């Protein structure tokens, strides 16, 4: 570089060409979509400025494909489509495209997709809501830059998560405060870290009750799906000692509970109070509107990409955690708090 002469940067090229830096980056490394006329403008600006990629630009050039992978367990669940929207909006803004993979809560499919993503050379991967163990995830991901969303990573890289145990405690204590005498938790699928943490939070809250029947009897298996909540509720409500409060581990199951109760002629919340988890948009459309625990899927997806972007450019799988606070959203599916 000649002494005293300012170095032309990728930002100068973007300014002269009138495009985003990420567009110049895509032209340099020939990855991702750039319209022909835009590409021509960028190349003219490079010529005019005699642009030579600096170390930073070369860092951008090092991207293999300009794309990232996002693995979710249930693309039909609005919580995960919110995560996908947030991650994709953040990725597009930085000139990346996003490949969405759906494992349908199947462990073998999680492994299959992670193996495909690793071999297809995406620049990085966001793993959301998986059930695989951390060691299995690390084995499948290999050396790919990655971030996990919806679980707190303990042995591996960076994570974006919300404290599920605290969220479950809030949900259960709310049902207690409204006078429910028999509360049951319909849990999420086995091996789901968020489902396990919610079970723990529920049992922690219930153990505070002096006259507590066997805690395990208050747990009912579920699967995070609408049908799972519906059939679990039919079974519980047709039993000899039905609950008067149900905390479902996610909103889709809670909506199934409401529909099952109403099919049996029960009134919500008078006969049965119901709390869900996620605060998906649908939870405020159903009638009665659902009391739930909010975890902001869109923002979690956005944060997931932003952390991954830093990792891809710093080339270190640094340990960054971003935690979102769970909050109780009270609506008409639960009774008003009893004033003692
Ligand atoms: O609704 C699906 C659930 O699975 C969410 O609560 C999320 O935490 C995921 O783990």
CATH class of 67-162+296-325: alpha beta
Q: How confident is the model at residue 46 (pLDDT cuts 50, 70, 90)?
A: confident
pLDDT surpasses 80 at 217: no
- State pLDDT tens for residues 179-208: 999 999 999 998 899 999 999 999 999 988
- Ligand 1 atom closest to Cα of 164? 8
Per-residue pLDDT, 1: 39
What pLDDT, on a 0 to 100 scale, did the predictor assign at position 209? 76
Atom of ligand 1 at shortest range from CA of 195: 10
User: Domain 164-295+328-339 is of which CATH architecture?
Assistant: 3-Layer(aba) Sandwich (3.40)
Q: Give me the percent of the chain exceeding a pLDDT of 70.
A: 88
User: What CATH number is given for 10-62 in this structure?
Assistant: 1.10.260.40
- Quote the pTM value: 0.80
The residue whose CB lies within 8 Å of the most ligand 1 atoms, and thus the one to mutate among 77, 200, 293, is 77
Which of 136, 139, 135, 206 lies closest to 168, judged by CA?
Answer: 206
Over residues 237-282, the pLDDT tens digits come to 999 999 999 999 999 999 999 999 999 999 999 999 999 999 999 9
Domain ranges of the chain: 10-62, 67-162+296-325, 164-295+328-339
Q: Please state, in angstroms and rounded to a whole number, the distance separating the CA atoms of residues 275 and 110.
A: 29
| CA dist list (Å): 231 to 61, 197, 226, 315 | 53, 23, 9, 48
Atom of ligand 1 nearest to the CA of 193: 10
Q: Residue 135: CB partners within 8 Å, gap ≥ 6?
A: 155
Atom of ligand 1 nearest to the CA of 79: 1
What is the predicted pLDDT for the residue at 34?
80
User: What pLDDT is attached to residue 32?
Assistant: 66
Q: CA-based angle 227:229:234, to the nearest 5?
A: 95
Cα 18 to ligand 1 centroid, rounded to whole Å? 42
| Confidence check: pLDDT of 321 > 70 | yes
Q: How many CB atoms lie within 10 A of CB 11?
A: 12
Cβ count within 10 A of residue 107: 15
pLDDT band at 3 (very low <50, low <70, confident <90, very high): very low
Confidence label for 132 from pLDDT (cuts 50, 70 and 90): confident
- CA dist 199 and 92 (Å) reads 37
Q: Which residues line ligand 1 (CB under 6 A)?
A: 77, 79, 129, 150, 192, 194, 224, 250, 277-278
92 burial level (CB within 10 Å; 0-12, 13-18, 19+): middle
CA of residue 245 to ligand 1 center, whole Å: 21
Give mean pLDDT, residues 111-127. 88
Best of 73, 75, 78, 79 to mutate for ligand 1, by most ligand atoms within 8 A of CB?
Answer: 79
CA-CA distance, 291 to 283, in Å (whole number)?
8
User: Is-same-fold flag (10-62; 67-162+296-325)?
Assistant: no
Work out which ligand 1 atom sits closest to the CA atom of 192. Answer: 10
Tell me which of 80, 105, 202, 326 to substitute to probe ligand 1's pocket, judged by most ligand atoms within 8 Å of the beta carbon.
80
């Amino acid at each position: 570089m000649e002494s005293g002469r300012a170095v032309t940067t990728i930002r100068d090229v973007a300014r002269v060409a009138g495009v985003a830096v990420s567009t110049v980056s895509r032209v340099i490394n020939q990855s991702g979509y750039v319209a022909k006329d835009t590409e021509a403008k960028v190349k003219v600006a490079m010529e005019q400025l005699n642009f030579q990629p600096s170390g930073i630009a070369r860092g951008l050039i090092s991207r293999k494909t300009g794309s990232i992978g996002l693995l979710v367990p249930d693309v039909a669940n609005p919580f995960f489509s919110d995560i996908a929207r947030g991650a994709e909006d953040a990725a597009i803004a930085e000139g990346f495209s996003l490949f969405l993979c759906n494992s349908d809560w199947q462990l073998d499919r999680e492994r299959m997709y992670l193996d495909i993503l690793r071999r297809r050379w995406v620049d990085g991967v966001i793993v959301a809501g998986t059930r695989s163990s951390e060691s299995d995830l690390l084995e499948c991901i290999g050396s790919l830059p990655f971030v996990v969303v919806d679980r707190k990573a303990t042995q591996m890289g960076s994570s974006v998560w919300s404290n599920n145990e605290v969220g479950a405690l809030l949900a259960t204590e709310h049902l207690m405060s409204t006078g429910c005498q028999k509360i049951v938790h319909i849990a999420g699928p086995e091996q789901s870290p968020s489902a396990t943490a919610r079970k723990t939070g529920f049992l922690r809250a219930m153990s505070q009750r002096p006259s507590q029947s066997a805690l395990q009897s208050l747990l009912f298996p579920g699967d995070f799906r609408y049908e799972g909540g519906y059939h679990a509720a039919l079974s519980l409500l047709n039993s000899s000692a039905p609950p008067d409060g149900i905390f479902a581990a996610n909103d889709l199951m809670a909506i199934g509970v409401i529909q099952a109760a109403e099919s049996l002629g029960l009134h919500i919340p008078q006969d049965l109070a119901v709390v869900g988890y996620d605060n998906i948009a649908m939870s405020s459309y159903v009638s009665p509107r659902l009391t739930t625990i909010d975890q902001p899927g869109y923002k979690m997806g956005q944060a997931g990409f932003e952390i991954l972007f830093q990792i891809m450019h710093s080339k270190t799988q640094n340990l960054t955690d971003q935690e979102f606070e769970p909050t109780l959203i009270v609506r008409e599916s639960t009774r008003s708090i009893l004033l003692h």
